[in-house]
A and B are shown apart, each in its own frame.
Chain A
Amino acid sequence: MESKSASIQRKSTNILEKPLSKGRGEINLSTFAFLFSELVQYCQNRSSSVVDLQQKLASLGHHVGTRILDALYLRERGSKRELRLLQALIFVKTTVWKSCFGREADKLELSNDDEKTYYIIENESLVNKFIFVPKDKGSLNCAAFSGGIIEAVLNGLNFPCNVTVHWHKGTTYMIKFEESVLMREKSLESR
């Protein structure tokens, strides 16, 4: 009986006793590649279309994104949250990208004809590096997973948006913000 209660106690305190990860731990990229392959196959078997498959990958990315945000904030920024849209986007392009994929994304651009739309461009997306898309799934872009991460991070920062991925200059992530984000920006500007 005594040992049982000890084990229950250990269970409940275990994760809190562990020091917060420094986030610099590294693993063989191949291991991730094989795991990601499995993820893609699993989602593919349960999808009826390429769009469906990409949505499933995005929702897995979402799961990762919401969690990575908390870890990053505690570690890198002393819990100070970004208030301005551009700062948040730069944070994604640099800090988030670096900690997820080892380097910054290549470009951040504002759409010419819509002030709610931004693009993050990655010439060669890491998750596509080891996925060779067969011809019958021509439009499939597995970077939908990374798209899900971005969306979750921006939503978590209170910049609600929708992210889609496109094969353009490598991979282009199209980020469309909700109207409310723009309204808030304008009110912050006028202060």
Chain B
Amino acid sequence: MSRQTPRVSVEGRKFSSEVFALTYGALVAQLLKDYENDDDVNKQLDKMGYSMGVRMIEDFLARNNIGRCHDFRDTADIIAKNGFKTFLGITPNVTNWSTDGKEFSLILDNNPLTEFVELPENHSSLSFSNILCGALRGALEMVQMEVEVWFVQDSLKGDDTTEIRLKFIKKLEDALPDGED
């Protein structure tokens, strides 16, 4: 019966980043086998990221005393300095703000997901780290922000740097009670 009570908290514990990166690589390799083309793999990674983001935001909020953000700049700051820092141990730069303040980029100097990765030649449209986009979208949706997230540059593909773009779409409202819509 020992399996009925194994769920002690993993709060604050560390894990080998090497095994983490290899495990993620194993997942992507499996998806490349299971799906016919790169776009479908990208979509599946995004979907899995979304589902992770939805859960990770709860873990994040429960551990940090952070209220709702005032504006998108606030959000950008917390994503970079708290979110990425907590879960991936890196702090991306927030930059390239659009003039209306609704779009910005995260620049990742190094990406823990790609520690050992070299893209296979025949998968040029694969967005290897696409899970990050899904995770950001999922997490932000839970704090009532609908966003679009995509890779602008990826050093894995030979770009100078890794740049993720976030665009604010709209604020989501509480669900209406039954019979009032």
Report which of B2, B7, B15 forms a contact with A29, defined as CB distance below 8 A: B15
Report which of B3, B16, B34 forms a contact with A167, defined as CB distance below 8 A: B3
B8 near A64 with CB under 8 A, answer no
Q: Which residues of A contact B20 (CB under 8 A)?
A: 27, 31-32, 35
Whether, in the assembled complex, A15 has its beta carbon less than 8 Å from a beta carbon of chain B, the answer is yes
Known: A128-B6, A170-B2. A63 touches B25 (CB 8 A): yes
Report which of A8, A21, A42, A167 forms a contact with B48, defined as CB distance below 8 A: A42
Report which of B3, B11, B23, B55 forms a contact with A39, defined as CB distance below 8 A: B23
Whether, in the assembled complex, B86 has its beta carbon less than 8 Å from a beta carbon of chain A, the answer is yes
Instruction: Please name the residue on chain B nearest to A9 by beta carbon.
Output: B158
Known: A27-B89, A132-B7. A68 touches B115 (CB 8 A): no
B55 near A23 with CB under 8 A, answer no
Q: Which residues of B contact A59 (CB under 8 A)?
A: 30
Whether, in the assembled complex, A60 has its beta carbon less than 8 Å from a beta carbon of chain B, the answer is yes
Instruction: Please name the residue on chain B nearest to A149 by beta carbon.
Output: B19
Known: A34-B52, A67-B22, A170-B2. A7 touches B15 (CB 8 A): no
- How many interface residues does B have (CB within 8 Å)? 43
Q: Which residues of A contact B56 (CB under 8 A)?
A: 30-31, 34
- Tell me the minimal C-beta distance from B100 to chain A in angstroms: 31
In the bound complex, CA of A26 to CA of B10 (Å): 14
A60 near B3 with CB under 8 A, answer no
- Max chain B Cβ within 10 angstroms of own Cβ: one of A14, A25, A33: A25
Q: Which residues of A contact B78 (CB under 8 A)?
A: none
Whether, in the assembled complex, B73 has its beta carbon less than 8 Å from a beta carbon of chain A, the answer is no
Binding site for B on A (CB under 8 A): 7-8, 10-11, 14-15, 21, 23, 25-39, 41-42, 46, 59-61, 63-64, 67-68, 71, 99-102, 124, 128-133, 141, 167, 170
Give me 23 A-to-B residue pairs in the complex whose CB atoms sit less than 8 angstroms apart, sorted by A's number: A14-B118, A25-B112, A25-B115, A26-B16, A26-B17, A27-B17, A27-B87, A27-B89, A28-B15, A28-B87, A30-B10, A31-B56, A59-B30, A61-B26, A63-B22, A64-B23, A68-B19, A102-B16, A124-B6, A128-B3, A130-B7, A132-B7, A141-B3
